[in-house]
Amino acid sequence: MMHPDAATSSDRHPEPPTFRQALLFWLKLGFISFGGPAGQIAIMHQELVERRRWISERRFLHALNYCMLLPGPEAQQLATYIGWLLHRSWGGIVAGALFVLPSLLILIMLSWVYIAFGNTTLVAGLFYGIKPAVTAIVLQAAHRIGGRALKHKALWVIAAASFVAIFAFDLPFPLIVLAAALVGHVGGRVAPAQFSVGGGHRAADRSYGPAVIDDATPPPAHARLRWGGLARVVLIGALLWAVPLALLAAGFGWQHTYTQMAWFFTKAALLTFGGAYAVLPYVYQGAVSHYGWLSPTQMIDGLALGETTPGPLIMVVAFVGFVGGYLQAHFGADLAFAGGALAAVLVTWFTFLPSFVFILAGGPLIESTHNVLGFTAPLTAITAAVVGVILNLALFFGYHVLWPHGFAGGFDVVPALIALAAGIALFRFKRNVIQVLAACAGAGLLATLVR
């Protein structure tokens, strides 16, 4: 029998994960990261903070706040950041790459089935059940993140104001982030207790126990700011961008589809403040209206695929690239699949490369700001604002799922029942995302077949 004074399992300091253990986890995450950025962040919090205790709540949120400031997919960047903290640059590269690769491979195959056979009846039935489930998943994520982040009245006000700003006034996400940062900057000076990360998360830290990277754990040697290291990362990143682009321009010409895709998605990668939904109108305008790589209907179907596959939602760019490359058939009709797959890989490379540079170059600076209220207060306010934006996203999903043809087209009862069942499974019975998605997909397919 354990002695009464012996430490419980939650009090013991966990062993640091080996590189192999971390690699297996990042690979698993790449296949289960459904639910968009909110759902993906919730999964990482549950696995890394609550269950495995590889990183403390406060350090997790500190990294998340930085990733939310960056253009690009914040969940993928957060995985890169934590992987980098644990196992240096290669740890970050592996974590970030494995977050994307499963989604890329799945989307290439689904895109091929979609474009080559054109039979989407089965897929439509599955999507009919998955979309209301995704709505419930996003709502649950807003609840989880809000419960952790909104510890003071001022942060609740910021969350409510951000929701009104984006829902009622359709203000751009970067403007909401900037306004929240300014409020946090002023609030950190006027009422520091309201914007202090530490005071709001101590109870959570105690409930999870000590972590490998705990609140008081000093940054490892590789995470300390060195200007030479920063310059080296920026230089390598610039070469990894410029050399492939130059080879494409030299081999195919500047106006070729592949070269234009590389250039277009480089610009898109630098405009994705606020996540995928902030940049989708830009991608739609360029890929459909300007370049004609795919039709409006194909773009909408691609978005549905992106919503219901693991990985960042911005991976819809892989669908755009595949369809554009497949239909152009630059290597001949017999090699259309190869042409589409190459395009999908190219756009993925140019879309995600900046994210790795931002994390590996900026991480050491962020690690030096844990207890600097002048830095953390604006980020705390930004986290509160993001809760309001996530709630708006849930309502956006709900509207399009429950009123697929607009309010004039009537209310669709079946998705409402599926969303309700998904919500009960998530909130009441604590079922995981995979189980909920699988059950709802089956329900949607059954409802489609019996109509």
DSSP string, 327-394: HHTTT-GGGHHHHHHHHHHHHHHHHHHHHHHHHHHHHHHHHT-TT-HHHHHHHHHHHHHHHHHHHHHH
Count of Cβ atoms closer than 10 Å to residue 214 Cβ: 17
Cβ contact 76:96 at 8 Å: yes
- Whether 97 has a pLDDT exceeding 90, the answer reads yes
Mean pLDDT over 212-225 rounds to 86
What region, left, alpha or beta, does residue 275 occupy, with left being phi > 0 and alpha being psi -120 to 50 degrees?
left
Task: Give CA–CA dist 156/309, Å, rounded.
Answer: 32
Mean pLDDT over 137-166 rounds to 84
Tokens of 250: 């030299």
DSSP 160-176: HHHHHHHHTS---HHHH
Task: Give CA–CA dist 320/208, Å, rounded.
Answer: 42
pLDDT > 90: percent of the chain? 37
CA distances from 351 to 54, 182, 207, 235, 295 (A): 29, 29, 38, 18, 21
CA distances from 142 to 41, 161, 257, 386 (A): 10, 15, 39, 9
Task: Give CA–CA dist 325/338, Å, rounded.
Answer: 9
3-state secondary structure of 294: coil
Whole-number average pLDDT of the chain: 84
| Residue-level pLDDT at 4 | 46
Task: Give CA–CA dist 245/243, Å, rounded.
Answer: 5
- Whether 351 has a pLDDT exceeding 60, the answer reads yes
Residue 202 pairs in a beta bridge with none
Residue closest to 107 by CA, chosen among 284, 302, 258: 302
- Whether 310 has a pLDDT exceeding 80, the answer reads yes
pLDDT band at residue 281 using 50, 70 and 90 as cut-offs: low
Mean pLDDT over 337-361 rounds to 95
Tokens of 134: 């995704």
Q: Which amino acid is at 157?
A: V
Cβ contact 25:306 at 8 Å: no
Lowest mean pLDDT among 5-19, 27-41, 144-158, 433-447: 5-19
pLDDT band at residue 370 using 50, 70 and 90 as cut-offs: low
**9 vs 286, which has greater pLDDT?**
286
| Residue-level pLDDT at 200 | 38
- Whether 43 has a pLDDT exceeding 80, the answer reads yes
- Whether 110 has a pLDDT exceeding 80, the answer reads yes
- Whether 7 has a pLDDT exceeding 60, the answer reads no
| Residue-level pLDDT at 12 | 77
Q: Go through 250-288 and write b for each residue having 16 or more CB atoms within 10 A of its CB, e for each that does not.
A: eeeeeeebbbbbbebbbebbeebbbbbbbbbeebbebbb
Domain extents in the chain: 17-118+157-209+225-392
- Whether 6 has a pLDDT exceeding 70, the answer reads no
Mean pLDDT over 362-373 rounds to 76
| Residue-level pLDDT at 116 | 76
Most confident of 91-100, 187-196, 275-284, 305-314: 91-100
| Residue-level pLDDT at 87 | 95
- Whether 2 has a pLDDT exceeding 60, the answer reads no
pLDDT band at residue 120 using 50, 70 and 90 as cut-offs: low
pLDDT band at residue 279 using 50, 70 and 90 as cut-offs: low
Residue closest to 265 by CA, chosen among 237, 239, 247, 291: 291
Task: Give CA–CA dist 338/117, Å, rounded.
Answer: 16
**254 vs 149, which has greater pLDDT?**
254
What global pTM score does this model have? 0.72
Tokens of 317: 């760019």
Task: Give CA–CA dist 288/324, Å, rounded.
Answer: 10
Mean pLDDT over 393-412 rounds to 81
Mean pLDDT over 136-164 rounds to 84
Query: Quick one: how far is CA 28 from the chain centroid?
Result: 16
Mean pLDDT over 278-290 rounds to 76
Task: Give CA–CA dist 326/342, Å, rounded.
Answer: 9
| Residue-level pLDDT at 25 | 94
Mean pLDDT over 76-89 rounds to 95
- Residue 374 CB partners (closer than 8 Å, separation 6+): 185, 188
Task: Give CA–CA dist 300/309, Å, rounded.
Answer: 15
| Residue-level pLDDT at 198 | 45
pLDDT > 70: percent of the chain? 87
